[in-house]
Amino acid sequence: MDENDAARSGHRLRLGRMLFIAIVAAVVALALSESARSKLLDLLFGAEEQFEYTPAGPAGAPDNHEGAAAA
């Protein structure tokens, strides 16, 4: 019975060690890879919205809507 308990204990230690190594490897990969970090953040918080910026005209120039209303 003691040999069986020792085998189970050794199996648990190997499983725990493998889990620890996997977690450390994942943390290192996230720290070194910007694309992996970006994918993880997109997965957790949703993809970042892409905005299309269109600059406004000169400050003194009326917009099309304002010019049409004034005419």
Residue range 6-16, pLDDT digits in tens = 666 677 789 99
Q: Are 40 and 30 in contact (CB under 8 A)?
A: yes
pLDDT tens-digit map of 29-60: 999 999 999 999 999 998 878 788 888 777 66
Q: What is the pLDDT of residue 70?
A: 54
Cα within 13 Å of Cα(17), Cβ side: 6
The ranges assigned to domains in the chain are: 1-48
